[in-house]
């Protein structure tokens, strides 16, 4: 893999502020360390490919316009620099620092901190687009003007005014991290104590549930209410990896926005942004975010439905440049398949790790993620889900689908073509 870095002078030419020039490196580092964070980085699970991925966002090879539009508009680059800085703050970090040095000879703590502090002094451009003034967090909740977002705000104000708890917000960087959550000292004690305990009490290899696969043509906001009331529901959010909720504020109607208009989930995404991501936003290329106890509502019915959300993204193959991570070209099918496979492994594993008990009452709601605006191939997406669900995972003794009661593939579109490539290997 070839990796390119912008030169320091390219980066600083347009962003460096006069006051920052006179701050020494030690002063900037001291200022940085005063910030508070519940962010957790699994140093034991980070691989070379993960480091390449992080560096590609922190130090993009694009021109200035593309860097500002894609990586800085929602502070994604700043957030990734923040995560890289955390690596240097952790004990027992030498193996990961060695990986960083192997991926690029031009990156060290000083450069990471310098670039981070430069971006820290710049207002989020997306905020300026929405004419939000001041420096307070959660400005988005004061910028809701359209019907869908206003409906969401009604639910958030009523049920989640204080936000989500720390133990309800999780970031998983890859499948390797999730696989080891059952081991002592290899999990985030704030967010994943529940998963650690459940995986020890009900090991995945002992789970022998029905694992029934069904195809449901429905809006996701309706499908969650079709699950029997005594069951746990885990929903895959077809997410945007660089902005919380995609074009939520613009009242767009993709699957993620529809979820958020009909639940209090938007507050969860903002809590990820401000509690764990230093006021920016980024989803790991090979991982997911996970939000527990998101509640769906129905306008015409007083019923509510508690769910968990798996927040994950596919590669953008449309050519529109919406994604953070550069995908392989369509000509490199096997590489695209392999990298997408890693994403989907993390999706399924995150659900396994967060089932109630042994998963015997858990419904996992998936769907044709990435096959709409992002133009991923329906056959490939269906085939990867099928292969993973019908394969051993997380030390299971049989196909991982049997860690669940049921798996539903949900879409407003006809699922016949998708269904042809999902094999029910009972």
Write down the domain spans for the chain: 48-118, 147-420
Tokens (6 digits) for 264: 């209090």
Mean pLDDT along residues 94-122: 96
Q: How far apart are the first and last CA of the chain?
A: 39
Write the pLDDT tens digit of every residue in 275-327: 999 999 999 999 999 999 999 999 877 889 999 999 999 999 999 989 999 99
Q: Measuring CA to CA, which residue among 190, 192, 202, 189 is closest to residue 172?
A: 192
Tokens (6 digits) for 416: 């016949």
Number of other residues whose CB lies within 10 A of the CB of residue 257: 23
At residue 29, the pLDDT reads 37
Backbone torsions φ then ψ of 362, nearest 5 degrees: -105, 130
Mean pLDDT along residues 416-420: 94
At residue 33, the pLDDT reads 36
Cα distance between residue 348 and residue 413, in whole Å: 22
Tokens (6 digits) for 7: 């030169």
Write the pLDDT tens digit of every residue in 165-211: 999 999 999 999 999 999 999 999 999 999 999 999 999 999 999 99
Tokens (6 digits) for 358: 């042994």
Q: Under a CB-based contact definition with an 8 Å cutoff, are residues 75 and 280 in contact? A: yes
Tokens (6 digits) for 263: 């639940």
Q: Is the pLDDT of residue 338 over 80?
A: yes
Q: Can you point out the beta strands (E) in 207-341?
A: 212-217, 232-238, 288-298, 301-312
Tokens (6 digits) for 389: 């669900």
Q: Is the pLDDT of residue 13 over 70?
A: no
Q: Please report, rounded to a whole number, the percentage of residues in the chain having pLDDT higher than 90.
A: 86
At residue 425, the pLDDT reads 60
Mean pLDDT along residues 243-253: 97
Helix, strand or coil, per DSSP, at residue 155? helix
Residue found under tokens 């019923």: 303
Q: Is the pLDDT of residue 24 over 80?
A: no
Number of other residues whose CB lies within 10 A of the CB of residue 128: 11
At residue 330, the pLDDT reads 84
Return the minimum-mean-pLDDT range out of 1-5, 93-97, 289-293.
Answer: 1-5
Question: Which residues face 305 on adjacent strands?
Answer: 296
At residue 22, the pLDDT reads 34
Tokens (6 digits) for 290: 């996970």
- Residue-by-residue DSSP string for 63-83: -HHHIIIIIITTSHHHHHHHH
User: Whole-number mean pLDDT of the chain?
Assistant: 91
Helix, strand or coil, per DSSP, at residue 224? coil
CATH 3.40.220.10 is held by the domain 147-420 = yes
């Amino acid at each position: 893999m070839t990796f390119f870095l912008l030169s320091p002078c390219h980066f600083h030419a347009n962003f460096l502020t006069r006051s920052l020039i006179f701050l020494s490196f030690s002063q900037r580092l001291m200022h940085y360390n005063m910030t508070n964070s519940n962010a957790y980085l699994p140093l034991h699970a980070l691989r070379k490919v993960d480091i390449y991925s992080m560096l590609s966002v922190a130090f993009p090879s694009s021109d200035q316009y593309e860097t500002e539009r894609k990586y800085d508009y929602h502070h994604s680059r700043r957030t990734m620099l923040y995560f890289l800085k955390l690596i240097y703050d952790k004990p027992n970090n030498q193996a990961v620092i060695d990986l960083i040095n192997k991926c690029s000879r031009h990156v060290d703590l000083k450069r990471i901190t310098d670039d981070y502090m430069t971006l820290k002094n710049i207002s989020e451009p997306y905020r300026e687009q929405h004419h939000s003034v001041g420096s307070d967090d959660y400005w988005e909740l004061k910028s809701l003007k359209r019907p869908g977002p206003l409906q969401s705000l009604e639910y958030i104000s009523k049920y989640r005014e204080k936000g989500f708890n720390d133990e309800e917000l999780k970031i998983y960087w890859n499948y390797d991290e999730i696989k080891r959550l059952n081991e002592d000292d290899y999990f985030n004690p704030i967010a994943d104590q529940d998963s650690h305990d459940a995986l020890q009490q009900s090991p995945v290899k002992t789970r022998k549930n029905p694992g029934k696969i069904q195809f449901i043509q429905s809006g996701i906001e309706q499908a969650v209410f079709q699950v029997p009331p005594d069951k746990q529901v885990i929903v895959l959010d077809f997410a945007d990896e660089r902005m919380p909720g995609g074009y939520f504020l613009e009242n767009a109607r993709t699957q993620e926005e529809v979820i958020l208009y009909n639940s209090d989930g938007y507050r969860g995404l903002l809590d990820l942004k401000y509690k764990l991501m230093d006021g920016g936003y980024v989803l790991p290329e090979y991982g997911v975010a996970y939000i527990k106890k998101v509640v769906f509502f129905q306008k015409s019915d007083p019923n509510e439905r508690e769910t968990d959300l798996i927040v994950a993204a596919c590669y953008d193959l449309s050519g529109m440049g919406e994604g953070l991570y550069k995908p392989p070209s369509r000509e490199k099918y096997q590489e695209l398949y392999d990298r997408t496979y890693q994403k989907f492994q993390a999706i399924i594993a995150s659900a396994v790790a967060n089932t109630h008990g042994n998963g015997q009452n858990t419904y996992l709601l998936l769907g044709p993620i990435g096959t709409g605006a992002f133009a991923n191939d329906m056959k490939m997406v269906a085939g990867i889900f099928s292969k993973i669900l019908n394969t051993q995972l997380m030390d299971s003794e049989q196909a991982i689908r049997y860690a669940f009661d049921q798996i539903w593939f949900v879409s407003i579109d006809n699922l016949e073509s998708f269904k042809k490539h999902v094999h029910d290997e009972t």
